[in-house]
Every structure is written in C-alpha cells, then in structure tokens.
Amino acid sequence: MTPQGTITKKAAKKRKDLVSLSTMTAAEINGTFELALKLKIERKAGKVHKHLEGKNLAMIFQKPSTRTRVSFEMGMRQLGGHGMYLSGNDMQLGRGETIADTARVLSRYVDGIMARVFAHSDIETLAKHATVPVINGLSDFSHPCQALADYLTLLEHKGKLKGLTLAYVGDGNNVTHSLLFGGAKLGVNVVCVVPKGYEPDAGAVAMAKDDAKARGASVSVTHDLAGVAGADVVYTDVWASMGQEKEHAERVKIFMPYQINARLMAMTGKPDSLFMHCLPAHRGEEVTDEVADSPNSIVFDQAENRLHAQKAVLVQLMAG
C-alpha cells in the first residue's frame, strides 16, 4: 500500500496548463508547432502513437461543439488514450458542487481536464485547483487551441509567420483575443477591423501590443475597412456567438458592411491573400460562398489542424 504521505505529495504537484496564449512564450508556441507537424506527418505515414497510452482526459462541455469534441476525442484515441465526454448537464459545473471541488475530484480520476465553458473565470478556477493539466477548449475571453491551429495552418501555407499581416474583420471576441496574443508572440502584425462598440478587450489589446513591440510587430484596432490593405490573410468569425442569439438580428445589421466578400478581399491588394474562419460559418452573413469556397480559402485546413495542434498540446501536458 502506498504511504499516505506519498499520495498527498503527488496530488499536490501542479503541472502546467493551457489557459491562454498570453502566458506562453514564442519558443513554447513554436515547440508546439514543431511537435504538431511531426505528429501529423507520422500519422499520415501510418505510424501508431502511444504517447498517452493509459491516460484519460475529462472533456467538459458547457457549450457544445462538433470540432472541439471530435478533435479532442480522436486526438486522445490516436495517442493511445481515452477522452470522456461530460456535458453541462452531467457536470452542473458551479451549480451545487463548487468548480474548485470539481477540479479536485476530477484530478483524482483522470490525467487531464479540457473544458469548453462560458465564463473564463471557470477555466481559471479549474486550473487553480486541479492537480492535473487543464486545457481551455474555449471561454468567453480566450480560445487558445483555435489560435494555435490557425497559426500552424498559416505557417504551413506561407512558410513563415514573422512579418506577415493578419486582418481580423468582425466581432472583437475570444478568437480575436487569442489571435492577438499568438500573433504578437510570433511577430505577426494583427489588425482588428471592427464596428464601433465591438472592439476587442482593451486589456488584451494592450498586452498584445507590448509583446508585439518586443517582436518588431504591430497590433492595431480600426473601424475602417481600409485596414485590410496589405493583409496576407483575412480572418473572420460568426457575428453572434453562442449565448448571443437574441442579438443576432441587430448584429447582422451592424456587421453587414464588414462581410468578407470578393470586394473586401480585393481591398488587400494581394491576389494571394488567404481567407480564414474558425467555423462553423454562417454563409451569406460574415462570408460569402464565393470567398469561403475559393482557392484562397484555407478554412478546412484550419479545421484539420485543430486535431494536430491539440494532440501536440495533449502530449506536452499529459505525457510522462
């Protein structure tokens, strides 16, 4: 029988989490890309990976998602481990049992926790109290796994990241924040083109500006569509995220001038400017079919790379 003191010491050991890209270094992000590409190439060549053999990941979903569930579940399976889906109804996260106690209990059962939640504070609380790695699968403030997949995809298509310009057009939301954090660390110039009143969080912008300056890059926010000029990639997201359904009709009126269409793509002045979207897309709203299905669209490469980027994160946090 293992001495109680040993159990207590092991349970108290804190491992690194993925809560936000703002806390990662450029070296750590690039290390994730290197591992993701290695795993991707080896998987396509038929190699069987057992990095997480015998490991279990609890996957908490307050907000449902096709891509997040399938990519994490298949990622764990392809690495030799197991992903366990827990819906909001299964967990009652923060209702009844505290989030802190949920983190403590799950840490006794599984080797890692991935959570897709509404409030970013829930992710922070899970990470604070869990003794196993916690991965932010999405919160109202941050979507680090998406941004990792996005910049990995851009790296594959452009061969580099430093010096590129990414124009994000639309709502300054959680995806925007993660693109800002990641781009600033990697030396990508990020321009946020948004309607008045829908700017990204001022604190996130300030933090990204500091990191960008250190990398010789820039971060800016504008309401002028001319901000897309010179962009190597144009990125957008849905205008009304989950939980904002009541605002949808009003948001469509406000955001329609910011629709990504052939005219707006031409404003970049670069025929090879790429189009990105984290999906699912509301075609006919934030993007037209003409752009989404064009040769310059890499949206499905992004979707695939959610799998590979997250597998790298899982190995980095849970292996061993």
Q: Domains for the chain: give ranges and CATH numbers.
A: 4-143+305-318 (3.40.50.1370), 146-302 (3.40.50.1370)
- Helices 144-158/174-186 angle, 10° precision: 50
pLDDT (tens digit per residue) in 146-178 = 999 999 999 999 999 999 999 999 999 999 999
* Annotated active-site residue in 146, 302, 310, 316: 146
277 an active-site residue? no
Q: What are phi and psi of 161, to 5 degrees?
A: -125, -45
Q: Mean pLDDT throughout 23-40?
A: 98
Contact in structure between 98 and 108 (CB atoms under 8 Å):
no
DSSP E strand stretches across 26-169: 56-61, 82-87, 112-116, 134-138, 165-169
* Annotated active-site residue in 140, 306, 308, 310: 306
- Nearest in space to 277 (alpha carbons), one of 266, 268, 265: 265
Contact in structure between 104 and 58 (CB atoms under 8 Å):
no
Higher pLDDT, 142 or 242: 142
pLDDT (tens digit per residue) in 32-85 = 999 999 999 999 999 999 999 999 999 999 998 999 999 999 999 999 999 999
177 an active-site residue? no
Predicted pLDDT of residue 92:
67
pLDDT (tens digit per residue) in 282-313 = 999 999 999 999 999 999 999 999 999 999 99
- Angle (nearest 5°) at CA 115 between 113 and 121: 110
Q: What are phi and psi of 38, to 5 degrees?
A: -65, -45
- Nearest in space to 117 (alpha carbons), one of 97, 91, 156: 91
Report the mean per-residue pLDDT for the chain.
93
278 an active-site residue? yes
* Annotated active-site residue in 145, 237, 251, 302: 237
Which alpha helices (H) appear in 159-288, and where do they start and end?
Answer: 174-186, 202-214, 248-255, 262-266
Contact in structure between 59 and 137 (CB atoms under 8 Å):
yes
pLDDT at 253 over 50: yes
Q: Mean pLDDT throughout 99-120?
A: 96
Report the side by side order of strands in the sheet with 56-61. Answer: 82-87, 56-61, 112-116, 134-138
Q: What is the 8-class DSSP label of residue 246?
A: G
* Annotated active-site residue in 69, 122, 278, 308: 278
259 an active-site residue? no
Residue with tokens 């990976």: 49
Provide the whole-model pTM.
0.94
* Alpha-carbon gap, residue 234 to 297, rounded angstroms: 10
Contact in structure between 55 and 315 (CB atoms under 8 Å):
no
CB atoms within 10 A of CB 26: 17
Percentage of the chain with pLDDT > 70? 94
* Annotated active-site residue in 143, 251, 277, 308: 143
| Three-class secondary structure of residue 287 per DSSP | strand
120 an active-site residue? no
Residue 276, both tokens? 């990105």
67 an active-site residue? no
* Annotated active-site residue in 51, 67, 69, 116: 116
